[in-house]
Amino acid sequence: MTTHSNQNRFAVLKPIDTTRRMSYDPMTLSRSLGSLPVWTPFAALAVAAIWPQIVYAQTATGVDPIGALWRWAPFLITKGFLFNILISFLCLLLGTLGGLAIGLGQISHVKPLRWLCWGITQLFRNSPWLVLLFIVMLALPFELTIFGNTFFFPAWIKAVIGLSLPIIANISEIVRGAVASVPTTQWEAAESLAMTRRQAMWRIILPQCFKRMIPPWMNWYAILTMATPLVSILGVEEVVNLTRQAIEAEDNLPELLAPFYGFVLILFFIYCYPIARLTLRLERRFAVKL
Amino acid sequence: MKKTTAALTIASLLGSTVAAVAEQCTNETWNKIQERGTIVVGVKADTKPWGFRGENGDLIGMEADMAKEVADTLGVELELVGVQSSNRMQFLEGGRIDLMIATMSDRTDRREIVGVVGPNYYSSGTNIMAPKALGIDEWSDLEGKPVCGKQGAFYNQIIEDRYGAQIVAFTGNAEAKQALRDRKCIAWVYDDSVIAADLASGNFDDFEMPLTSEDDNPWGLAVPIAERNCVFGRFMSGMQYNWHQSGDLIALEEKWGIQATAYLQRENERFKDWLAE
């Protein structure tokens, strides 16, 4: 009896299973999103649309969230959501080009360059996105004078620049990691063929990296797309801002909040879900076999 | 030698006078509007019924109608740009828009940045929407209580300082009203005309606007500050004078379902043509 209670007092912490569920890595988003059944967000929208009507059943005044949503959907998609997609594409373009350059800089043999690129990567990778957005927004001028011509510098272009900073940093890490993951024998083999470091990098190493960079790259694209509504805070007229304006035009009825924002959720899901599934498939296919 | 110096001095003096006059009135924006045959007007996109979006995304509302009349009077095309409280003055300064009619309260500090011209075309006061059950009947009842509001409204600070209310500011009015219904705050503070419209809609039957409006503040439309005392500014003054005299603004108010304001009635009488009977 006594022994038993003593055993209880000195309970042993069992080893935590880090291989499943608990573990977190940059691919967690695609993995969790990709494993959702397709109907999840639609169920969420249904609840979002029906719930307010149940709650306000007593004070029903002819509020029709679904009807309102139906009328506004074309505008929200064409003028709002497609604009988010455009922003995400431009960010990805900037982020990929910048990330490739900075990532290769991180493995350069020139020390100052390596340190600089490492510093940039760490700085942007570990800063809140919204803070980066605010800084870019305030640091860049409102208008730009090139060769005596003054151009208006729209807020959304600044937002693209601001959002691509963390993408640059993360893709830089992907590039660095991918190059490091190529077995050193490849370098040695290239060297034995009298290739310079640059030749070995471009002709032997990078082509092998390309495949293994695709899944994390797509994963970051999905993260980026879902982050685009952040720019609504800066006054860019993207889907969340236009949704707010649509709710305003429908007399600001609180009953509309859940259905309208639920609709935006569905849009993002429909777009990001296939990307997540594809990412998982490619990840499995390109997995390094040991 | 002396003569040359004198001539040079006179020439430079003349030159500087000309430059000074030219600097005062280049009518840059005015000429730009004529040249491209389009006037770009900044109106609100999130403030029904003054400036908001129709279902196809077009900007409509009372202020959009006013902008249309300005364009028609000028004989140019109209282009509307949606602006927000936070960027409307910047848009005008930066030349993104030529004219701003965006529910802006006419305040001293704003006049230093943009060219507000009189007579003011509208005026609104501050009031609250509160549940009837609470029986609020004085501003001082708000002391120490949470009150919902919209971010960026200048009276949020005033209500806090004067009556000790705790303002909880939201990005949109729908969110603020939802919070009011959820009893996260005892009242929603906003423009009295908007509250009146909401109460009239029948969706807020358990609520009332129990206080006397405060801080009645005229609204101002604005041209670029350099053109306040030039052709464009004078023209917009004339537009506003005419709107008041003809009663057009009162008609627009009715068209957009805004509760008639005493201000427009007063201005309409003030500017009445004394020969017309």
At residue B222, does pLDDT exceed 90? yes
Q: Which residues pair with residue B219 across a beta bridge? A: B105, B122
CA distance A169 to A139: 19
Chain A residues close to B202, C-beta within 8 Å:
61
What is residue B235's predicted lDDT score, i.e. its pLDDT?
A: 94
Chain A residue with minimal CA distance to B197?
A: A251
Q: Is B84 at the interface with chain A, CB within 8 A?
A: yes
CATH topology of domain B125-217: D-Maltodextrin-Binding Protein; domain 2 (3.40.190)
CATH architecture, domain defined by A74-241: Orthogonal Bundle (1.10)
Rounded CA separation B64/B101 (Å) = 8
Question: What element of type H or E holds A1?
Answer: none
Q: Can you give the pLDDT at residue B17?
A: 47
Q: Could you tell me which residues come within 8 angstroms of residue B270 by beta carbon, excluding any fewer than 6 positions away?
A: B244
Give the start-to-end residue ranges of the domains of chain A. Answer: 74-241
Predicted TM-score of the model (pTM): 0.76
pLDDT in tens, B95-132: 889 999 998 888 888 999 999 998 999 988 889 999 98
Q: What is the dihedral of CA B149, B154, B159, B160, to 10 degrees?
A: 90
| Antiparallel, parallel or unpaired: β A149-152 and A143-146 | antiparallel
Q: What pLDDT score was predicted for residue B19?
A: 47
Largest CA distance in chain A: 91
- CATH number at B27-121+220-270: 3.40.190.10
pLDDT at B204 over 70: yes
Provide the pLDDT for residue A103. 94
Query: What's the one-letter identity of residue B122?
Result: Y
Which residue, among B132, B173, B183, B194, would best test binding to A if mutated, counting the most A CBs under 10 Å from its CB?
A: B173
Mean pLDDT of chain B: 85
- pLDDT digit string, tens, across residues B169-185: 888 788 888 889 888 89
**Which residues on B lie below 8 Å from A155 (Cβ)?**
87
Q: Do B56 and A59 touch (CB under 8 A)?
A: no
* Residue B18 predicted with pLDDT over 60: no
| Domain residue spans of chain B | 27-121+220-270, 125-217
Contacts of B56 in chain A (CB under 8 A): 75
Identify which has the larger pLDDT, B261 or B40.
B40
**Between A61, A244, A247, which is nearest B202 by CB?**
A61
Question: Residue A239: its pLDDT value, please?
Answer: 93
Give Cα A47 distance to the centre of its chain. Answer: 27
The answer to whether residues A67 and A203 touch, using CB atoms and an 8 Å cutoff, is no
pLDDT at residue number A19: 63
Q: Residues of B numbered 109-148 whose beta carbons fall under 8 angstroms of chain A's beta carbons: which are they? A: none
Does position B16 have pLDDT exceeding 70, yes or no? Answer: no
Indicate the Cα dihedral angle B3, B6, B11, B17, nearest 10°.
-160
Q: Distance between CA atoms of B60 and A249, rounded to whole angstroms?
A: 10
Residues of chain A with pLDDT under 70: 1-11, 16-24, 51-63, 142-143, 148, 150, 288-290
Q: Check if B27-121+220-270 and B125-217 are the same fold.
A: yes
